[in-house]
Structure 1
Amino acid sequence: MANPAGHDTLREVDLDRFFRPETVAVIGASDTPGRPTTLNWGRIRAWAERAGARVYPVNPNKETVDGIPSLPSVLDVPDELDLAVILVADAMGALEQVIAKKARFAVLFAAGFSESGQEGEERQRRLEELLATGGVRLLGPNTNLNAFESFRDDLPGRPIALITQSGHQGRPVFQGQEIGIRFSHWAPTGNEADLESADFIRYFADRPGTGAIAAYIEGFKDGRTFQLAADHAARRGVPIVAVKVGRTDVGRSWAKSHTGHLTGADAVVSAVMRQYGVTRVDGLDELLDTAAMLARSAPPRGDGVCVYSISGGTSAHMADLLTAAGLRLPELTPDTQVALREWIPGYLRINNPVDNGGHPTGDWRGRRILDTIVADPNVDVLVVPITGAFPPMSDKLVDDLIAVAATTDKPVCVVWGSPAGTEPAYRDALLGSSLPVFRTFGNCVTAVRAFFEYHAFARRYRSGWGGSMDLGTSPGAGAARALLVPGAVLPEHRSKELLSAYGIRTSRDILCTSATEAVAAASSLGYPVVLKVAGAELPHKTDLGLVQVGVGSGREVREVYARMVERAAAATSTPIDGVLVCEQVSGGVETVVGIATDELFGPTVMFGIGGVSVEVYRDVTFRVPPFDRDEALRMVREVRGLPLLLGSRGRPAADLDAVVDVVMRVQQLARDLSGELAELDINPLVALPDGAVALDALATAR
């Protein structure tokens, strides 16, 4: 588990020496035909020579490998060693020699470590202990040799840097080179016994010109370092697009068996990605297309999308998908529409989407139309779906699109719908350009939405690390800490004391141990009141009939008190603390605010629509500290039940500022008591038009 109070900075790793070494040793190099090590030796040697490095084969059973003198041991390498690639079965023995050689980096190709069960986990533990004895940085184990691929430098646009925990899952992304998408690096991190995704995110974000980072992640070695790395990339303005497996129980179990990582609660993983502007996608095709869109496109000035095609049906289909995704299709300005009507017949739509009917595409009018659309101030992205190849008209359209894209920094997105993909207009022209090109409507919509969302995030982002959100320790932390008993559940009245120590408003409650006390308490609070049994062993009191709302008289208080005590005795053998007599708060919207301890990210703050059905509807969202007030407000606004808080069916709107105040105070509580508090549940927190009141709470100590 990540240490919630631990490291707040990323470690320094000079990965230049990994990707641009001066000396490389390949342990287990071979030139015997048909051997896997022969193929791997050849790949590494070619990569090292392209990098200008000296490469040494290490194999005690051979005098030469491909005509190069073979060394009996890595200790015999005559130079300082930057990179050692271990291909032999005795990985631990080879690594011991690499450490003795004081190499800077090593790659461990072998599998059979934490991805392979209990024995493998023990092997990886010993491996990590061995690494701790020396200064070598290790990539792997259970990794492929994809870092040593051939990277084309003849492709346009800013490059994508690729990180994958599975080499095979990265292959279809890396093959984007074959359709004109440029890549600069590929880091296959495997089990991450040492080097992890966060190290490479930081390195790639710091490299000038990186257009985007694409990642296939099965699990995080450390949730904290992922937060720090994502923050680093956000501050550098480098977008990250990621596939993160583990959405389902099956996916989580396979991710564990594959890489040995904890996968984390998926809802928390998604929340952390939103918090740091990481675009999460589902498919490898989406990963490639979205990363390419972000890498190739300048930041937008606004959020307007225009659809242009030769078919009304095509335009309507694409417009539906874009609108359903929450994207805005503004009307073109009157001046633009007047200009377009000169070239487009009067029976066709020109206000957005724009339908030219086909014929203008094949002559001089096509370019005039495109120039006019991209000049419109309401247009920030142009989407052009071409549902089929129809040369020569489609050839002319593609030429015009490429030409007009060269005159603007507004993205011109093209969807080439032909299933063949062999047409010269696509294969030679579009793929040789720097335009964002897609094969499906869905991937185009996903990428355009991610484009706007990322740049909206980038404009507002303020890092929470490095002291800018250091809230210090609350004056109430000492009083709150004194309430916690290790491993114990605090009953409601004690849990509310915890909240009060942090300035969170609670209902007025009086703990009573007799019916007579309860009547007196109700009279002092004013009728009607709420009665609840108080006891740590009764967390779900409503389900047990141990809560009564609307108690309106002294006689009724006595009756309810007696009935509740009897029911509590049947429900638990543990003595109860008494019965709480509580003021009844009417109106408002029931919400829930809480703290959970995530296995990867540590203390995690939850907000959602609350009440007795919270576990049914699960309309909740999460954030991991640190986050600011604006982020807390976004958290509140992203629940599906937001219309209830904004006022619906004539009801007054809730005081969102007060709700955000509670979320921020709960965050402070989570940070102050991260080592002592395991869980906190405020349900319901009633959001009123003029404040927010905690009506129930339950805290659990670690």
Structure 2
Amino acid sequence: MEHHRPADLARLIHPRSIALVGASERAGSIGERTLTNLLTHSELAGPLYLVNPSRPELRGQRCWPSVAALPATPDVVVVAVPASGVLAVIEDCAARGVAFAVILSSGFGEAGDQGRRQEQRLQEIAARSGLRLYGPNCPGLTNVNQRLGLTFSPSFPHDLVKGPIGLATQGGGLGRNVMQAMERGIGIGLWASTGNEVDLQVADFIHYMADAPDIRVIVSLLEGIKDGPKFVAAVQRAAANGKPVIVLKVGKSEYGRRAAQSHTAALTGSAQVNSAIFRQFGVVEVDDIDELADTAWLFARAMPGAREALGIYCSSGGTAALTADAVGAAGLRLAAFTPETTALLRARLPDYAAIGNPVDTTAMVLSDQSVVETTLGRVASDANLGLTIVPIALDYGASTTRMADCIIHAQQGCAAPIVPIWMSDRLGEGYQRLVAAGFAPPRSVGKAVSAIRRWVEYGRHRRANPDVGALQRPLAQPGQRSHDGGATRSLGEAQAKQMLQQAGVRLMPNALAKSADEALAHAGRIGYPVVAKIVSADIAHKSDIGGVQVGLRDAAQLQAAWHTIMSTVTARQPGARIAGLLIEKMAAPGSVELMIGVTRDPVFGHVLTFGLGGIYVELLRHVTRRLLPIAARDAAAMVHTVRALLGGARGQPPADIAALEELLVRISDFVLRHADRIEELELNPVWVGAKGQGAIPLDALIIERTGAAA
């Protein structure tokens, strides 16, 4: 199988024929529940073959002794036998030319070393035969829009609300939790829960859903990402087709990482790297299941447009203020109504009502429902609004039911979505009508505004990155970083800077001196003041052991510095191999210290980190990250995060932002050219002069893989 290439899943999701190995009548068994879901609750497009060597028939259908004995080759084989019998079944499937096998059985990688060895054998069978494997240790696959349940779950017949949302998860329990959000009116057309991902991964299903005509919004619960480039390609495909991808990534904390690894034995990656890559490719990241459901359904109802400003329509002053506070705290903006809207509100609402934004109709709507019918529709259709929030603080019986009917009617007359918030724990008839009409009301102001914020931010990202789904140059391949002492080596600063200079990176004039006399000669040619730094492949942090002296203004100071550095370093790190001192022109004072770093993430590959440098990098951790390669637009966005420090505050001249952006792109290109070689790179500090003076790394560290081609 070609690495990182997404699978063609059409025959798995729309199979023409299915075989169930392990079909059973033993009540409550996986084989019995799967058989019931297929025979009783699914609408099959073709034959269902039952495989059970000890039974001639089940439920009036013939049983076959093995996959090899079947009269025809099915598209999909569902495997519901104990783990000890799975390998033999998969061998039969491979020999028969089956396209897909869904392995429901547990007892593999999640169960220890023996299970992992079994998974390795499954991978070997798939690799040599072309058979694609789904699972093991999974609840199966549910195609709700086609009413097909390749699953043992007893909930399958109860979770069958068709809809435009596609769900891809690794864990089954949380995935079923999202499926049961259907009770709020959320229709999920396809659910893939991939389990241990011995072959097919969540990314394969995101890629499929990106092209599936019946799916408009893609939702994913991730415990770990095994193939970073495949995941990136999948979300780019979704972006190219205008489909938002909404992700809840568990395993962010140390506790969460341990749980995720013990559950699926998956690589969880760095939480910061994951989140940065999600942002880079327009993936909407949420923090909890409720947020996942609220956000997904808002996207399923409408995609964000250019109008971001919001309206609030309410009959309770306190509730209106609470909602307005939440909107402001989220960094969102309330709209100014058009004169036409204001005039109608003034004419229809009493003098003591609030006709600005938020609108507080007061309790008079309880006695005159026609006011809501005319004013809500006008507000929701206002040309300055992108969305209208209607918080409903309490269930007031028939009055609230009429309010729900007004919301439904108003939505029919306007394109911008209306988001009703059902705040009461009493789920009366009004709530049920909203659910039946597809509104899936959020249950609190905070949850609703959180979903709206993500909806608005996604729209901004799409407008700022119209080609976010365009294919990039190939990513640098990820690789598990080795902690073997012989696996990597640190290049000296002089060697690292030589590599960078050859790549077109501008540096301060410098030269390596192997003696004090050479140091004086170099300084005379370069021009004082200079900096003197120890050069040793054994010393990564030179300043920590007295290996750097700055501001040397003449030969006498340089001569003294030579002896001081050599004696101090020798005393503090006696075993270090010293090549000499690097003599370098000293940069002008007054620059902001910045940092550019690159690390190789084991899942995604090379990731660039940029932000405040010097002593501030550890103290403030004010950084932004991008997966490589980056383009000019990415570099500009990264620099924008520190723009306030570079804009010429307090009489300082504006910094050379263009040069800094160019440096970021040049470093990206440099790393990609040496992708198999570079494990880490750090430029800290990076000096940025006034406009036209450039952006220049003052220190450089490169850690490379030993044995990699130069």
TM-score over 0.5 (shorter chain): yes
Tell me how far apart the structure 2 counterparts of residues 197 and 131 of structure 1 sit (CA, whole Å): 18
Aligned partner (choices 187, 191, 210) of residue 192 of structure 2: 187
* Contact 2:75-2:100 at 8 Å conserved across structures: yes
Q: Shift of residue 182 of structure 1?
A: 1.0
Amino acid at match of 1:659: L
Aligned residues: CA RMSD: 2.5
Separation in 2, partners of 1:321, 1:194: 44
Q: Cα distance, 1:605 vs. partner?
A: 1.6
Which deviates more from structure 2 when the two are superposed, residues 375-384 or residues 672-681? Answer: 375-384
Q: What's the secondary structure of 1:285's corresponding residue?
A: helix
Q: SS of 1:185's equivalent? A: strand
Q: Within 5 Å, which residues of 2 pair with 1:408-487?
A: 408-420=414-426, 422-427=427-432, 429-435=433-439, 437-459=441-463, 460-462=465-467, 466=471, 469=473, 487=488
Give the Cα separation in 2 of the matches to 1:216 and 1:154.
20
Equivalent-residue separation in structure 1 for 2:547 and 2:635 (angstroms):
34
Q: 2:81 aligns with which of 71, 85, 88?
A: 88
2:35 is matched with which residue? 41
Shift of 1:162: 0.9
Q: Is the Cα contact below 8 Å between 1:405 and 1:435 reproduced in 2?
A: no
The alpha-carbon deviation at position 16 of structure 1 amounts to: 2.5
1:254 matched to 2:259? The reply is yes
1:297 corresponds to = 302
Question: What are the superposed Cα offsets for residues 131-183 of structure 1, whole Å, 9 maximum, x if unpaired?
Answer: 2232321110111135213487766xx51111110111101100122221111
In 2, Cα distance between equivalents of 1:396 and 1:205: 39
Residue of structure 1 in register with 2:213 after alignment = 208
| Counterpart position of 1:478 | none
Read off the aligned partner of 2:273 and give its amino acid letter: V
Render the CA deviation track for 1:302-345: whole Å, top value 9, x for unaligned.
21112222223222222222222222223223443333222334
Query: What amino acid does structure 1 have at the position aligned with 2:230?
Result: T
Matched, 1:579 2:584: no
Contact 1:298 1:410 survives alignment (8 Å): no
Residue 380 of structure 1 corresponds to which residue in structure 2?
A: 386
- Counterpart of 1:106, as a letter, is A
SS of residue in 2 equivalent to 1:76: coil
User: CA distance change for structure 1 residues 647 and 364 in 2, over 3 Å: closer, same or farther?
Assistant: farther
- Is 2:514 the counterpart of 1:513? yes
Deviations 1:545-574 (A, max 9, x none): 322333334333333322111111123222
Contact 1:464-1:626 at 8 Å conserved across structures: no
The one-character-per-residue Cα deviations of 1:270-318 (angstroms, maximum 9, x if unpaired) are: 1211121111111112111111111111332321112222223222222
Instruction: Check conservation: 1:110, 1:142, Cα contact below 8 A.
Output: yes
Change over 3 Å in CA distance of 1:543–1:400 after alignment to 2: same
Counterpart of 1:230 in structure 2 is 235
Q: TM-score, normalised by structure 2?
A: 0.90
Q: Distance in 2 between matches of 1:533 and 1:464?
A: 46
Instruction: Tell me the equivalent position of 1:660.
Output: 661
Tell me the residue number matched to 1:480: none
Equivalence for 2:558: 557
Structure 1 Cα separation of the partners of residues 219 and 140 of structure 2:
18
Q: Distance in 2 between matches of 1:694 and 1:392?
A: 70
* 8 Å contact from structure 1 (residues 464, 627) kept in 2: no
Aligned to 1:371: 377
Code of the residue aligned with 1:46 in structure 2: it is T
SS in 2 for 1:444: helix
Tell me if the contact between 1:234 and 1:461 (Cα under 8 Å) persists in the aligned partners: no
Deviation (angstroms), 1:231: 0.7
Is contact 1:495-1:699 (8 Å) kept? yes
Asked if residue 241 in structure 1 is aligned to residue 228 in structure 2, the reply is no
1:29 maps to: 23
* CA displacement, residues 377-400 of structure 1 (integer Å, 9 cap, x when unaligned): 221111112122223332232221
- Aligned to 1:352, the other structure's residue is in SS state coil
Among 48, 52, 56, the residue aligned to 2:45:
52
Q: How does 1:580-599 map to 2 (within 5 A)?
A: 580-585=582-587, 586-599=589-602
- 1:322-381 Cα shifts (integer Å, max 9, x gaps): 222222223223443333222334455433222222324642221222222223222111
Equivalent residues of 1:56, 1:77 under 8 A apart: yes
* Contact 2:166/2:189 (8 A) holds in 1: yes
SS in 2 for 1:366: helix
Amino acid at match of 2:393: T
Amino acid paired to 2:410: V
Q: Distance between the aligned counterparts of 1:341 and 1:381, measured in 2?
A: 21
CA apart distance, 1:34: 4.3
Q: Distance in 2 between matches of 1:451 and 1:146?
A: 29
Deviations 1:410-433 (A, max 9, x none): 01111110123x210002x11011
Query: Which of structures 1 and 2 has the larger relative contact order (alpha carbons within 8 angstroms, sep 6+)?
Result: 1
Residue of structure 2 in register with 1:613 after alignment: 616
Q: Which residue of 1 aligns with 2:120?
A: 125
User: Which range moves more in the overlay, 434-443 or 107-116?
Assistant: 434-443
Taking a change above 3 Å as real, the CA distance of residues 527 and 273 of structure 1, as seen in their structure-2 partners, is same
Q: Which moved more, 1:213-222 or 1:508-517?
A: 508-517
1:405 aligns with 2:411: yes
AA aligned to 2:645 is L
- 1:679 matched to 2:680? The reply is yes
Which whole-Å CA distance do the structure 1 matches of 2:643 and 2:115 have between them? Answer: 47
8 Å Cα contact 1:529/1:549 also seen in 2: yes
Which SS does the other structure have where 2:374 is aligned?
helix
**SS of 1:701's equivalent?**
strand
Q: Are 1:632 and 2:638 an aligned pair?
A: no
The answer on 1:306 being equivalent to 2:311 is yes
TM-score scaled by length of structure 1: 0.91
Letter in 1 for 2:278: M
CA distance in 2, matches of 1:562, 1:145: 71
How many angstroms does 1:406 deviate by?
A: 0.8
Deviation at 1:675, TM superposition (A): 0.7
2:230 is paired with a residue whose SS is helix
Residue 98 (str. 1) matches residue 83 (str. 2): no
User: 1:463 & 1:342 partners in 2: Cα distance?
Assistant: 47
Which AA in structure 1 matches 2:611?
Answer: G
The whole-number CA distance in structure 2 between the counterparts of 1:663 and 1:16 is 41
Which residue identity is paired with 1:378?
A: N
Task: Determine helix, strand or coil for the equivalent of 1:389.
Answer: coil
Distance (whole Å) between structure 2 residues aligned to residue 111 and residue 470 of structure 1:
36
Mapped partners of 2:475, 2:133: distance in 1: 37
Partner of 1:10: 5
User: 1:10-56: per-residue Cα shift (whole Å, max 9, x none)?
Assistant: 3441x2321222221111111123434322221233355x1333112
Q: 2 CA distance for matches of 1:234 and 1:512?
A: 53
Separation in structure 2 between the aligned mates of residue 647 and residue 390 of structure 1, nearest angstrom: 58
Q: Which amino acid aligns with 1:82?
A: D
Alignment correspondent of 2:145 = none
Displacement, 1:465? 5.7
In structure 1, the gaps of 5 or more residues are: 473-484
SS at match of 2:532: strand
Distance 1:194 1:469 in 2: 25
Is it true that 1:67 corresponds to 2:60 in the alignment? yes
